[in-house]
Chains A and B, each alone.
Chain A
Amino acid sequence: MRVNPNTTPDLLSSLDRSLEQQNNDLIELSSGRRVNTPSDDPAAAAQLIQNLDQVARTDSFQSGAGTINGQLQTADSTLSSVVTALQRAMTLGIEGANGTLSDSNRAAVAAELQGIQNQLVSLANTSYQGKYIFSGTAQIQPYVADTTAPSGVRYDGNAGVNTVAIGTGYNLQVNLPGSQLFSAPQGDVFQAMHDLISAITSNNGIEAAADEVSTAFNYVTGQRVFYGNGMNQITAQQTFLNSTQTQLASQQNTLVGADIAAVASDLVNTETARTAALSAIGRQPPVSLFDYLA
């Protein structure tokens, strides 16, 4: 049976294939990735895109949660100062109510109360990273002195609340507007302080005014729970997001990461095979019958 006398093209084609395999292994090793173009593994490439999108979203949630946490902490510590100030005001109110103070004493108490009122206004106008945190969604100073207002201060903010997503479908309210916190009908801090100051100055209805301040104090303390809850939720969510990020990173590695050990051993095998093929081809006898004709 006659065989093909010219086998060179076949051998060259085999050499080409082994060279291609070698190159692929080298690319995988140097990049550390099994999937360098979509055609290496189309399904994995498509899933990688989804994975990266999830990573980006998780990162967004994390950074949003961090920012909000700072905001909530500032608000909480502000309220802590408010509560302390109100406690002092209540003490002063009780003092003034026992009716043993002289005019000048009462004037001194009223002055101190006015100082506390001013401090409260300033606290209510706290800003964090350049924006007022108690003005609802408006961006102007929430409380301004206004002699025409019953409490002596006017609320210029609005009642808007913002929510921020810290997880998929997980929205957290991040602020309480001043109208709900400081000047709500159930407990208007400024009105109560104003009334107490007038009562002490006029030495009339001090007890009722002190009760008003106490009501306002209780109310604010109750509202403060909102911030504590928010911070707790954020902390818990951040832990969850961290573990999600770890999972996503490991999934990414599974999808497109190269198995270095396997690729390295495959490379060694391919190189060995190629060397063997090259030497075998080189060893082919370059003689035919012509060389033996006398």
Chain B
Amino acid sequence: MGGLSGSLSIAVSALQAEQAALDVTSNNVANANTPGYSRQRPDLVESNPVTLGPLTIGTGVTLQQVEGVRDPLLENRIQQETQQQGMLDTLVPSMQQVEVLFNQTSGGDIGTQISNFFSSVSQLSANPQNLALRTGVLTAAGNLANSFHTTANNLSQQRSNLDLQIVQGVGQINTLTTQIAQLNGQIGSLENLHQNASAFLDQRGQLINQLANLVDVAEIHSENGGLTLTMSNGTPLVAGNQSFALNTQPGISGLAHIFSSTGADITGSVNAGELAGWLQVRDQKIPALLSNLDTLASGLASGLNAANHAGFDLNGLPGTDLFTAPPANGQGYGSGIAVQITDPSLIAASSDGAPGSNGNVASLLAVADQAVANLNAPNVDQQETPSSAGPLNANDVLTVGEQTSVTAVGTTFTYTNAVTSGANPNQVTGATAVTPATVLASGDVLTLTRGGKTTIYTATAATTVANLITAINRGVAGVVAGTNFTVSGSDPQPNHYQAVLAGGNLQIVDLNGNNDLTAVQNTGTELGAFTTNAAATSTLQDLINAINGDATVGATAGLVGGKLVITDPQNRGDLAVTTTDTLLGAAVAGVPTAFTTPNTSSGQTPTDFYSNLVFGVGNDVAGAQANQTAAQLILNQLQDQRGSVSGVSLDEEASNLLLYQRAFDAAARLVTTVDEMMQAVINMKT
């Protein structure tokens, strides 16, 4: 028996425990509407019993711990869905803004203007010399150009806006990761002490949800509540109590690129979150639309210019360009297209030079039914005319220009055909076959001459060809040890010559290449007369091998249909190849001529092309909207489930309140009873 004080302590333990449990209930009720709050549950546990003789008696109750009720798997699912929804939440509004530009109802869109332009041209058919109608054509052309400008400029403006949002988004990410890292530290220290970190866990969960809304996040849990957050592409964001900041830096295009804390460019590998939505529109959707606008504008302008050239204007002169000439690859022409002709009489409607003829109007109208040419981004360059596989011209240069990194300006790699053709007066070969053991008599002299200077090898004793080769390759003045040769003359320096046995004959190379090497054996005839070698020629295949074997160059070279084709597999759209070799297509020898980028036909008329464009935009938006609705429904369902696990039910808390209060009352009653019993014991004496 523990005595009355033991009974008292049992009752007191109950009072303490029930009161603490009540506190937990109050906390739950107070936080009923706190977002991200997980209800907490007091864990009441029987205190360790004591053994007194044959009896084992309990010692009351303790509140062992307060734990938060949460389902980590569910929380993880919610974060993943939040990432998806975040991406769609930015993708849909951004694309809707783009869609407005292609809306036909306003009548100012490109499709309507194309129709209007060709309508105005067809009116010339009945009245080709009417100046009012001709002015109408120029006006319609101006409106068409303006509709391109408006669309292209608006797209560029949206891209800039998205750029700003991306930079701001990265800033928010950094703020959140810093906060999460701090919380990680606090949680870690609490968990180490086995204390309840539920409140911090809730806060951290909320922050992670906000982060997941911004960027795709993967969690890795370790013991003691430790957490590592990375992006799905592996970029670390938070590790324990340390956060890794992302930073942004403008690239070549002026738009911001995102770099991880280790300096890696991760702009292209963000998979979900609001950031992914912005990036997708800024880096894929809008550039594709701008490029398509460039293609359409260039196709129309080139076709109409060519058609105008085919006819004669009111003055009987051949037609000139109707629009300003598009650049070779069309880039930027969507915002740059402009009407070149201002004088209506310069429209070339006539086919025979007479002002009343409308024969050329048909060819202008035919552009509406011609396929628009694709403008390939310069990732492939090819030479203009096929060449033979034979020797290339000496000293000619091929340069390959492309971008090597996001922020660096274009780099140029140069391949020079440094070999001269014809005779190669840098190499001479002896006529007589020799072996390394062939004996050269004492007193034999070999004289090498280049640039008017001589190098003389004299055999001081009977020696061998192998020793001669050693002496030549050493070439120091005076005796060359172990060779029985002395080197003299006006140019006895080392590293000017190299000797080798080539096909059984002694071959000597002038390493400095002054094109004037001669060799004479003044005494002795073992080596034979020396003659100049034929030049090694470099062929197209040598050039291809050089380009493909160059590790720093990203481009690959090959022959397609007899033409040299150079491709940039990284598709940055900035390849530029020039050559000075007439065999590779240079117009004038020695003057750099650019390779051309091959065009293909889109197979679509201007109106078809435009309607496909509109279809693409509308389809993208409709698809994204459908996905957004679905993602919202899934997220709602998950939130529902989370609520059923972790949500505070006021009814439940009210009933708990009653429980703990009643137990507290009972325990208080116990104290009173024990107190009376103590009184009775004390009063036993009197």
Contact = CB atoms under 8 A, between A and B. Distances in A.
Contact of A49 (B104, B130, B365, B648): B104
B111 A160 contact: no
A36 interface: yes
A277 interface: no
Contacts of B649: 2, 5
Contacts of A158: 352, 354
Is the interface on chain B under 10, 10 to 19, 20 to 34, or 35 or more residues?
A: 35 or more
B627 interface: no
B681 to A, nearest CB: 38
Contact of B100 (A33, A37, A164): A37
Interface string B100-123: 101111000001101110110011
A13 B636 contact: yes
B654 A288 contact: yes
Contacts of B657: 293
A2 to B, nearest CB: 5
B651 A52 contact: no
A45 B357 contact: no
B115 A52 contact: yes
Contact of B636 (A9, A50, A165, A290): A9
A36 B621 CA distance: 13
B640 interface: yes
B608 A5 contact: no
A234 to B, nearest CB: 12
A64 interface: yes
A242 interface: no
A47 B612 CA distance: 9
A262 interface: no
Contacts of B622: 39-40, 42
Interface stretch (A101-109, A131-139, A200-208): A131-139
Contacts of B355: 137-139
A10 B103 contact: no
B363 to A, nearest CB: 12
B129 A136 contact: no
Interface stretch (A55-63, A183-191, A214-222): A55-63
A45 B618 contact: yes
> Helix, strand, loop or mixed for chain B's interface?
helix
Contact of A288 (B129, B618, B629, B650): B650
A52 B640 contact: no
A38 B615 contact: yes
A289 B651 contact: yes
A288 B657 CA distance: 13
B611 A2 contact: no
B126 A4 contact: no
Nearest to A56: B115
Contacts of B102: 38
Contact of A139 (B354, B610, B612, B617): B354
A67 interface: yes
Given A2-B644, A4-B643, A64-B126, A37 B618 contact: yes
Contacts of B358: 137, 162-164
B362 interface: yes
Contacts of A17: 629
A5 B119 CA distance: 66
A158 B312 CA distance: 16
A68 interface: yes
Given A60-B119, A63-B123, A164-B126, 20 more contacts: A4-B639, A6-B647, A9-B639, A37-B100, A42-B616, A42-B617, A42-B622, A45-B615, A49-B104, A57-B115, A60-B122, A130-B130, A131-B356, A137-B359, A160-B354, A160-B359, A163-B362, A174-B126, A289-B651, A292-B654
Interface of B: 96, 99-100, 102-105, 111-112, 114-116, 118-119, 122-123, 125-130, 350, 352, 354-359, 362, 365, 607-608, 610-612, 614-619, 621-622, 625, 629, 632, 636, 639-645, 647-651, 654-655, 657-658
14 contacts: A4-B643, A4-B644, A5-B649, A9-B636, A33-B105, A37-B99, A60-B123, A61-B122, A64-B123, A137-B355, A160-B354, A164-B125, A288-B650, A290-B654
The 6 closest A-B pairs by CB, nearest first: A38-B618, A4-B643, A42-B618, A137-B357, A289-B654, A39-B621
